[in-house]
Structure 1
Amino acid sequence: MGGYYDLFLSLELQPDLPEEILHEIRWHLRLTDEPPTEFRAFSAPDWYDETPYPFFNGTTGSHAFDGVDVTALLPATHRLYPDGRQRWLMTVRSCVHEDELGYAMDLVRWLASYATTTGWIGYLGYTADPAPKFMYYVDGTLKFREPAGPHRAS
């Protein structure tokens, strides 16, 4: 059966992303049904068996953690750039099987590379761990940090 990871990611995407990048992001978030003509998020061509599938689950009950797996990409209507460009806000909470963790981290790195967000971007928790590790994206590198202080398992 294996273990599961609870992945939470929150980013503000760069303005003026090319449409093919936004389309692939929307597809992986299950916000469009049409797959991209070319996949850029994964360096390994074998990330799927026969048919490509959106990596995240959209909005559904999580089968391994309390709460909901959810994906969202929304315009920040009250936070425009000074020149009037639109900000896009993205949030993901997804249950990831341990066999797919490498691909999930490739996708997180790819998404973070198109974000304006630096520093804390989310967390990654494992079913057997008492607390998640915080994820940071700094200078083009994804880093993890244990939370400070004592933590109890529920």
Structure 2
Amino acid sequence: MSDCYDLFLTVDLPPDLPEPVLQELRWLLGQADMPAELKSTDWESWGGPWQAFAGGSASHSFDGADVSLLVRAVDRSNLDGSEPWALTIRTCVHEDDFGVMMEVVGWLLRHATTQGWVGFVRDSGLGQVQHLVRHEDGFDLVDVRPADRQERVPWSSR
């Protein structure tokens, strides 16, 4: 049985995202037809393009559903009144596709405005979690502290 990765990503994108980028992103999310030219990765070296972030179905390896949503952040407008794009993705990635998915994530993050923590990647085989952290030069996958070293903070709703 192959390992899969649970990818969760949440970022803001500029309100004036260039139309070719927006069109490709919408296609990746399963919300539009494929554009004539794809810039997110060299899809041919990966066997051809697919809608990597399309959601709307139960995850085949993790509890819950694969989802993707791109909306205007109308309640969080910028100082100039413009509305950024708000994007959230949760998708299952097969280990054979992990490399291409990280290339697409890198392409997406080059257009994002969010700095710092933007998501996580969880391995189905080992259960390890890595944070996705965006910075000016790209992004890093940062290991989460092993489970046997966690500091627990009890939560009570009382």
RMSD of equivalent CA atoms = 1.6
3-state SS, counterpart of residue 25 of structure 2 = helix
Please identify which structure carries the higher helix content: 2
3-state SS, counterpart of residue 21 of structure 1 = helix
State the distance in 2 between where 1:109 and 1:91 align: 15
Q: 1:64–1:115: structure 2 CA closer, same or farther, 3 Å change rule?
A: same
State the distance in 1 between where 2:144 and 2:117 align: 12
Find the partner of 2:85 among 82, 85, 88: 88
Partner of 1:9: 9
Task: Tell me how far 1:102 sits from its aligned partner.
Answer: 0.4
Find the partner of 1:73 among 59, 70, 75: 70
Q: 1:130–1:82: structure 2 CA closer, same or farther, 3 Å change rule?
A: same
Q: 1:151–1:10: structure 2 CA closer, same or farther, 3 Å change rule?
A: farther
Tell whether 2:28 aligns with 1:28: yes
Tell whether 2:139 aligns with 1:142: yes
Equivalent pair of 2:109/2:138 in contact (CA under 8 Å) = no
Equivalent pair of 1:131/1:151 in contact (CA under 8 Å) = no
**Structure 1: stretches of 5+ with no match in the other structure:** none
Equivalent pair of 1:9/1:121 in contact (CA under 8 Å) = yes
Q: 1:118–1:29: structure 2 CA closer, same or farther, 3 Å change rule?
A: same
State the distance in 1 between where 2:70 and 2:47 align: 24
State the distance in 1 between where 2:136 and 2:115 align: 8
Identity among equivalent positions (%) equals 37
State the distance in 1 between where 2:146 and 2:46 align: 37
Task: Tell me how far 1:70 sits from its aligned partner.
Answer: 0.3
Task: Tell me how far 1:151 sits from its aligned partner.
Answer: 5.0
Partner of 1:40: 39
TM-score (norm 2): 0.87
The structure having more radius of gyration, on CA atoms, is: 2
Runs of 4+ off more than 2 Å: 43-49, 148-152
**Structure 2: stretches of 5+ with no match in the other structure:** 150-158
Paired residue type of 1:115: A
Partner of 1:119: 116
